[in-house]
Amino acid sequence: MLDGWGPRVLESYLCGAWRKGNGPAKPLHDAATGDLVAEIDSTGLDFAEALAYGRRAGASLRAMTVHERALILKALGLKLMEQKDDFHALSLATGATPKDGWIDIEGGIGTLLNYASKARRELPNARVLTDGVVEPLSRDATFSTQHILTPLRGVAVHINAFNFPIWGMLEKLAPNILAGMPAIVKPASQTAYLTELMVRRIIETGLLPAGTLQLICGGVGDLLDNVTGQDVVTFTGSAATGQRLRAHPAIISESTRFTMEADSLNACILGPDATPESPEFDLFIREVSREMTAKAGQKCTAIRRVIIPRAQAGAVRDALAAKLAEVAVGLPADPATRMGALASLDQRADVRAAIARLSSEAEIVAGDPDVVRVTTGDAEKGAFLNPVLLFANQPMKASAVHDVEAFGPVATLLPYDDLAQVTELAAMGKGSLVSSLFTHAPEVAEEVVLGLAPFHGRVMIGNRDSARTATGHGSPLPMLVHGGPGRAGGGEELGGIRGLNHYMQRTAVQGAPRLLGAVTGRWLDGAPSRSDIHPFRKSLAELRTGDQLVTEAREVTLADIEHFAGFTGDTFYAHMDEDAARANPFFDGRVAHGYLIVSFAAGLFVQPDPGPVLANYGIDNLRFLTPVYPGDTLQVTLTCKEINPRAEGAHGEVRWDCQVRNQKNDLVALYDVLTMVAKTWPA
């Protein structure tokens, strides 16, 4: 237990203050010892006002740019990482071992840092995000459309499960804060004391604008009665509870966005090529054992169904039973413990009831749910349960093994007779967050993965080649989609920058390029431009979108083409052989290299003297549109398209629209040039 942290009634953080409920408090007990940890109650708190407060306060978050929000996440993540020992000390009361706590604590904080980094790398330093390219709606480019993304004007309400009281909160906060939307977090009561500690430490940093984060410890009362179409509700937990929330009258009538991540019957599959003599067999056994016992099996991504070749059923059963028998169950703080307790005694009772239902069509082949063996701790006071493995001989005829989830260290072996049965068995789970396949055969990977994909949010292929670097079946990393269809809830969370879209409205804006540019902060073709001094002589402080350079023209000669071919080694026949080039349906004779055109274009627009342009770091969307023949001339129009100053540092990125045309004014090449430019010059 965290020093100085004694049992007390948890408080909610609403409308900028810590508040207690006024009803009878519910006791919360240490999962491993049964000792009182805290009490919880939210009776009498004004949730309607909390929503209204969050909506009002969201204006300050929306006023920031994406990079400014990202830097807040970075600073917050670094501050919280300094205090991780305090979180780990209290995490032991949830039944989690230090290794389990690492997933929740460092994993959650790491998600903040990952999103902070991705946002600054992948998104502009702007308040408005564009989605897709500009679509011309008229021939003369006087009327166009651009899709934009803007933050909703409501509050994100996050209702989270008990198994990850920190990661479950932070994985949702990172994208909603980046998107510019405030949040109210409602953790599951059983482990809310750990979430409350984390929120206290977040508020103490003073980094978040007022109203960005609120917390409810206890029931939500009439909170959902007051949501609007500008709010977002996310839920993580059981499918049954999620379906009830999704059907709430206010959510339906207001068309409130609802994202659900439900526990699912995830599968791990052994390919027919993975015999006991193969590395994949051993990797498979280790992965199933690890996923059954990490967090005592109380993970939304834990392996519940183990789909195996019937020919290997005996070998898999014996190997898994032996591996699970080695798992030391006991007090989470004991260094010898390999698996701690479930979250509560009630949870253990639920898991035992689920095992009983599974036993109606599967036999227990390892472990005994009614007999608990611990290395340390009290088997009756703590919510301990040894791993249980079942075997269903006829899984194609079974139903419970595909419908009942024992949310603990429990899995069922399901033998298959051919590859077609593999995808059919996996699909009988009615949608899952993740499945994994262990195989070394490309043809097995192709058939099984394509069969699994429509029913899963994520599929991991494991084999000897990736064994040392693979993150594992149960790791929903920030850059990967975390969600799944059907029983898994139908939602998508994380997925890198995709995660922001849940909290933003996509709008098609139509109008003249000049006005669209004013909205998006980008120059559009057809908008006014300015030509004075060379734009490469301007620092970010002086540069404006629309600043333009129209270059002199340069002729491309046959000697240029032959020199480029000899110098680079690119002797493709269309550049070197007149007859072969004419036989090509796209050309009328020998043509210039595409990269010769790009090189000549750079020679036309580059200003060679030292100045504010520090480096060229890339080209985007390069397209060659018209062949260039000997004797053609090239001319470049270079226009400042987007200015993206970094929130930190002395430089920013500038995107330039580059159009290369020939003597007939035909567009030869079109692309974006990306440069780093000093904020001021001399620097």
Helix (H) or strand (E) holding 524: none
Helix (H) or strand (E) holding 224: none
Q: In what order do the strands lie in the sheet with 257-262?
A: 17-19, 12-14, 213-215, 183-186, 156-159, 232-237, 257-262
Q: Which of 39, 261, 291, 361 is catalytic?
A: 261
Q: Is 17 exposed, middle or buried (0-12, 13-18, 19+ CB in 10 A)?
A: exposed
For residues 256 and 233, the answer to whether their CB atoms sit within 8 Å is yes
Q: Name the one residue in this structure whose structure tokens are 């390999």.
A: 338
At position 193, the amino acid (one-letter code) is Y
411: helix, coil or strand?
strand
Long-range contacts for 550-553 (Cβ within 8 Å, ≥24 apart)?
Answer: 550/635, 550/636, 550/637, 551/604, 551/605, 551/635, 551/636, 551/637, 551/638, 552/604, 552/635, 553/633, 553/634, 553/635, 553/663
Q: Please report how many Cα atoms fall inside a 13 Å half-sphere around the Cα of residue 679, on the Cβ side.
A: 9
User: Residue 680, by phi and psi: left (phi above 0), alpha (psi -120 to 50) or beta?
Assistant: beta
Q: Check if 261 is active-site.
A: yes
28: helix, coil or strand?
strand
Q: How far apart are CA 234 and CA 66, in angstroms?
A: 22
Q: Any idea what DSSP says for residue 73? A: H
Nearest residue to 242 via CA among 161, 177, 298:
161
Q: How far apart are CA 10 and CA 191, in angstroms?
A: 11
Q: How far apart are CA 184 and CA 197, in angstroms?
A: 15
Q: Name the one residue in this structure whose structure tokens are 């032996």.
A: 322
CA 385 to chain CA centroid, nearest Å: 32
Q: How far apart are CA 97 and CA 192, in angstroms?
A: 17
> CB count, 10 Å around CB of 320?
24
What letters, b where the CB count within 10 A reaches 16 and e where it falls short, cover 596-635? bbbebbeebbeeeeebbbeeeeeeeeeebebbbbbebebb
What is the per-residue DSSP string for 478-513? TTSEEEESGGG-SEEEESGGGGGGGGEEEEEEEE-H
Q: How far apart are CA 351 and CA 573, in angstroms?
A: 69
Helix (H) or strand (E) holding 191: none
> CB count, 10 Å around CB of 121?
9
Greatest CA separation found in the chain? 91
Q: Any idea what DSSP says for residue 94? A: G
Q: Check if 405 is active-site.
A: no
Q: How far apart are CA 182 and CA 425, in angstroms?
A: 42
Q: Residue 336: CB partners within 8 Å, gap ≥ 6? A: 328, 330, 375, 376
Q: Which of 15, 217, 268, 300 is catalytic?
A: 300
What is the per-residue DSSP string for 29-60? E-TTT--EEEEE--TT--HHHHHHHHHHHHHH
**Which residues are known to be catalytic?**
261, 300
